[in-house]
């Protein structure tokens, strides 16, 4: 039988260390909704999402009650909308339909207002990208992502240039709420088909009709475990993280199995990412500081993060039958109290964050930058992140928020899980000539493995 | 789901086991195993229970146990056995 100390350990993780299942995300294919006119398309999308996901929220709540561990977010990801509207246009109408579905079902977000343009852009995809600011302004729960590069394809610099402008426009259109539209927009390299986390979730075309993907969390649990091994060498640190990651992931595995069975959906993957929230005791930065860096952003941060990220994967992989998604430590600045504090002190800078993205998931995430940052600078930021992802064969992303009307030292406030972020300085040296060239950065030599 | 773990934690006093097992009996729930100790001056007990013949559903049983816990001044929770097996057994 289960031992008393095991029951107490599990329940303490929840009550004192914020252990939770961060998200149960149902991926739904909408390819069979494609129609000749946008109204029929929207009707079919609405009917399909409701039929598949109507029980998502109650089932998750039931599972959470039975196991005694909260499931924080219930989400839906769908087939990239650019594919659905290729013939009809009217993508914003689809976004509004998705938003309505989210409200009816009671989920937190719907992801998939997306396009995959890593190698080239069709005309309908270009038009789709230009609708993103309007779609993110007219909806509350719809999230958008665009894949502009991959290790196999290289980097589509025309799309990179365009996305700089799309981000700026989105910021302007949501200026009255600290440009929050940009918090729902991610630009990827090597985007994955089964990511359960927002804002980058979409349901890839190679996926089954209806799939459950689960994202676990638990930075606080890892931090507490590391407090028990103060001063021990780094092998002990890594082993401690592995053991705790195993336990955390087992929770996700159980939830995914139960949710997929009860919802009659396929079990997709467990995403092993450590995802922070702005509350105290739920911070990835604090783990790095517990390992021994005084303040996150100082030298040693990248090495500590590498150790953490690798150990989480090693512990988690054995705990789950299918691991996927992004699977690594997240470093969203506005959602992590340690990152917020360090950025406010001027210790955590964009350059260090960029280095950190080379060894963890996922990229420059939830970073508030001055509102007057040019679209060229944002595009160049995206290009640099893509280069890291494409060359290192990993996912990278950019979710920056050029906060309209605010400058370095101000604070952007988004609320809820999105938190708040000090505006951090940007190197404004002009990359305009580079961005204006357009074209495609060729795939790296190791893309040719065959 | 049929098996669950009932955990009871609080200041030790007379009759805790009697009251909890009495309620479980009324609800048609069989107690299969009990483990009890005093940890850091707190009465700590876990029970493995079988809900297959329970008169009420899982959440309703949880609520009844919680109410009883408030009445006698201890914290009572019931959780699926699966979560502990998942986390603590390979």
**Window A:9-38, CB contacts with B under 8 Å:** 9-11
By residue count, chain A amounts to 450
User: How far is residue A142's CA from residue A337's CA, in Å, rounded to a whole number?
Assistant: 25
- Please indicate whether, in this complex, the C-beta atoms of B7 and A66 are within 8 angstroms of each other: no
Spatial contact of A330 and A362, defined as CB atoms under 8 Å apart: yes
Residue keyed to tokens 């979730």: A201
Size of interface A-B (CB pairs under 8 A): 67
So what's the pLDDT on residue A273? 87
Q: Which residues of B touch A (CB under 8 A)?
A: 1, 5, 7, 9, 33, 35, 37, 39, 44-46, 48, 58-59, 62, 77, 79-88
User: How far is residue B51's CA from residue B3's CA, in Å, rounded to a whole number?
Assistant: 6
Q: Where are the domains of chain B?
A: 3-88
Q: How far is A284 from chain B (nearest CA, A)?
A: 22
Over its C-alpha atoms, chain B yields an Rg (Å, rounded) of 13
Spatial contact of A91 and A213, defined as CB atoms under 8 Å apart: no
Q: Which CATH class is domain B3-88?
A: alpha beta
- Please indicate whether, in this complex, the C-beta atoms of B48 and A2 are within 8 angstroms of each other: yes
Which ranges of chain B would DSSP assign to H, the alpha helix? Answer: 16-26, 58-72, 81-88
User: How far is residue B62's CA from residue B68's CA, in Å, rounded to a whole number?
Assistant: 10
- Please indicate whether, in this complex, the C-beta atoms of A8 and B59 are within 8 angstroms of each other: no
Q: Quick one: tokens of A99? A: 């938003």
- If one counts every other C-beta atom within 10 angstroms of the C-beta of residue A408, the result is 13
Q: Which residues of B touch A65 (CB under 8 A)?
A: 58-59, 62
DSSP-based three-state secondary structure for A267: strand
CB contact set of A65 (below 8 Å; sequence gap of 6+): B58, B59, B62
Chain B: residue whose CA lies nearest to A63: B80
A64 and chain B in contact, CB less than 8 A: no
Whether the link from the prior residue into A199 is cis, omega within 30° of 0, is: yes
Whether B1 shows a pLDDT value over 80: the answer reads: no
A395 and chain B in contact, CB less than 8 A: no
- If one counts every other C-beta atom within 10 angstroms of the C-beta of residue A415, the result is 11
Our CA angle for A443, A197, A186, nearest 5°, is 50
- Please indicate whether, in this complex, the C-beta atoms of B35 and A6 are within 8 angstroms of each other: no
**Which of A149, A118, A113, A147 shows the shortest CA–CA distance to A131?**
A113
Q: Which residues of A touch B79 (CB under 8 A)?
A: 66-68
Chain A: residue whose CA lies nearest to B7: A7
Phi first, then psi, for residue B86 (nearest 5°) are -60, -45
User: How far is residue A319's CA from residue A341's CA, in Å, rounded to a whole number?
Assistant: 33
Instruction: Report the CATH fold assignment for A1-430.
Output: Anaerobic Ribonucleotide-triphosphate Reductase Large Chain (3.20.70)
Q: Chain A interface, mutation test: which of B7, B40, B87, most A Cβ atoms within 10 Å?
A: B87
Residue keyed to tokens 């030298």: A299
Residue keyed to tokens 């990179």: A160
**Which of B84, B51, B24 shows the shortest CA–CA distance to A68?**
B84
Please state whether beta strands A185-189 and A396-403 pair in parallel, antiparallel, or not at all (unpaired).
antiparallel
Phi first, then psi, for residue A363 (nearest 5°) are 175, -160
pLDDT digits (tens, 9 = 90+) for A251-262: 999 999 999 999
Residue by residue, DSSP assigns A305-363 as HHHHHHHHHHHHHHH-S-EESS-SB--BGGG-HHHHHHHHHT-S-HHHHHHHHTTSSSE
Q: Chain A interface, mutation test: which of B86, B89, B90, most A Cβ atoms within 10 Å?
A: B86
Spatial contact of A52 and A28, defined as CB atoms under 8 Å apart: yes
- If one counts every other C-beta atom within 10 angstroms of the C-beta of residue A262, the result is 16
Q: Which residues of B touch A4 (CB under 8 A)?
A: 7, 35, 37, 39, 44-46
Please state whether beta strands A323-324 and A411-413 pair in parallel, antiparallel, or not at all (unpaired).
unpaired
- DSSP structural state of residue A206: T
Please state whether beta strands A210-216 and A21-28 pair in parallel, antiparallel, or not at all (unpaired).
antiparallel
pLDDT digits (tens, 9 = 90+) for A286-320: 999 999 999 999 999 999 999 999 999 999 999 99
Q: Which residues of A touch B80 (CB under 8 A)?
A: 66-68
User: In a structure prediction context, what are the per-residue pLDDT tens digits for chain A, which is 450 residues long?
Assistant: 889 999 999 999 998 888 999 999 999 999 999 999 999 999 999 999 999 999 999 999 999 999 999 999 999 999 999 999 999 999 999 999 999 999 999 999 999 999 999 999 999 999 999 999 999 999 999 999 999 999 999 999 999 999 999 999 999 999 999 999 999 999 999 999 999 999 999 999 999 999 999 998 889 999 999 999 999 999 999 999 999 999 999 999 999 999 999 999 999 999 988 889 888 889 999 999 999 999 999 999 999 999 999 999 999 999 999 999 988 888 999 999 999 999 999 999 999 999 999 998 789 999 999 999 999 999 999 999 999 999 999 999 999 999 999 999 999 999 887 888 999 999 999 999 999 999 999 999 989 888
Q: Residue B81: which pLDDT band, with cuts at 50, 70 and 90?
A: very high
Chain A: residue whose CA lies nearest to B61: A66
- DSSP structural state of residue A299: T
So what's the pLDDT on residue A417? 76
CB contact set of B71 (below 8 Å; sequence gap of 6+): none
The whole-chain average pLDDT of chain B stands at 94
- If one counts every other C-beta atom within 10 angstroms of the C-beta of residue B26, the result is 10
- Please indicate whether, in this complex, the C-beta atoms of B88 and A8 are within 8 angstroms of each other: no
Over its C-alpha atoms, chain A yields an Rg (Å, rounded) of 21
A62 and chain B in contact, CB less than 8 A: yes
Q: How far is B64 from chain A (nearest CA, A)?
A: 14
User: How far is residue A182's CA from residue A165's CA, in Å, rounded to a whole number?
Assistant: 12
């Amino acid at each position: 039988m289960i031992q008393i100390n095991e029951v107490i350990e599990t329940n303490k993780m929840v009550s004192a260390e914020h252990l939770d299942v961060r998200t149960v995300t149902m991926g739904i294919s909408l390819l069979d909704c494609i129609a000749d006119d946008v109204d029929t398309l929207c009707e079919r999308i609405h009917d399909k999402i409701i039929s598949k996901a109507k029980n998502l929220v109650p089932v998750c709540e039931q599972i959470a009650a039975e196991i005694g561990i909260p499931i924080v977010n219930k989400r839906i990801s769908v087939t990239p909308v650019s594919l659905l509207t290729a013939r009809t246009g009217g993508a914003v109408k689809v976004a509004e339909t998705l938003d309505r579905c989210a409200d009816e079902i009671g989920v937190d977000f719907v992801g998939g207002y997306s396009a995959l343009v890593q190698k080239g852009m069709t005309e309908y995809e270009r038009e789709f990208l230009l609708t993103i600011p309007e779609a993110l302004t007219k909806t509350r729960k719809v999230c958008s992502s665009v894949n502009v590069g991959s290790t196999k394809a290289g980097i589509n610099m025309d799309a990179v240039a365009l996305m700089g402008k799309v981000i700026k426009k989105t910021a302007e259109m949501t200026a009255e709420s600290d440009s929050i539209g940009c918090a729902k927009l991610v630009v990827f390299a090597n985007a994955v088909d089964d990511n359960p986390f927002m804002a980058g979730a979409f349901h890839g075309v190679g996926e089954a009709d209806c799939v459950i993907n689960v994202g676990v969390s638990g930075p606080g649990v890892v931090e507490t475990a590391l407090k028990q091994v103060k001063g021990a060498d780094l092998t002990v640190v890594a082993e401690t993280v592995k053991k705790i990651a195993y336990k955390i992931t087992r929770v996700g595995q159980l939830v995914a199995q139960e949710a997929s069975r009860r919802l009659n959906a396929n079990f997709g993957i467990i995403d092993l990412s450590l995802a922070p929230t702005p509350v105290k005791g739920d911070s990835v930065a604090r783990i790095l500081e517990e390992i021994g860096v005084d303040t996150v952003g100082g030298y040693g941060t990248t090495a500590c993060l590498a150790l953490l990220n690798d150990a989480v994967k090693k512990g988690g992989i054995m705990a789950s039958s299918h691991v996927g998604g992004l699977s690594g430590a997240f470093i969203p600045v506005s959602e992590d109290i340690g990152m917020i504090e360090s950025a406010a002190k001027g210790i955590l800078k964009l350059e260090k964050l960029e280095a950190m993205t080379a060894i963890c998931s996922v990229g420059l995430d939830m970073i508030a930058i001055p509102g007057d940052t040019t679209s060229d600078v944002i595009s160049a930021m995206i290009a640099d992140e893509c280069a890291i992802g494409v060359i290192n064969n990993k996912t990278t992303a950019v979710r920056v928020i050029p906060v309209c009307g605010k400058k370095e030292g101000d604070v952007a406030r988004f609320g809820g899980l999105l938190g708040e972020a000090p505006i951090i300085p940007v190197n404004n040296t002009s990359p305009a000539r580079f961005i204006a060239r357009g074209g495609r950065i060729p795939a790296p030599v190791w893309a040719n493995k065959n | 789901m049929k098996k669950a773990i009932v955990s009871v934690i609080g200041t030790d006093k007379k009759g805790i086991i009697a009251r909890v097992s009495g309620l479980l009996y009324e609800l048609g729930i069989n107690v299969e195993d009990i483990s009890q100790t005093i940890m850091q001056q707190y009465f700590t007990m876990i029970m493995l229970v079988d809900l297959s013949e329970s008169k009420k559903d899982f959440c309703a049983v949880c609520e009844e146990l919680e109410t009883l816990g408030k009445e006698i001044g201890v914290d009572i929770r019931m959780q699926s056995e699966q979560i502990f097996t998942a986390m603590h057994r390979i």
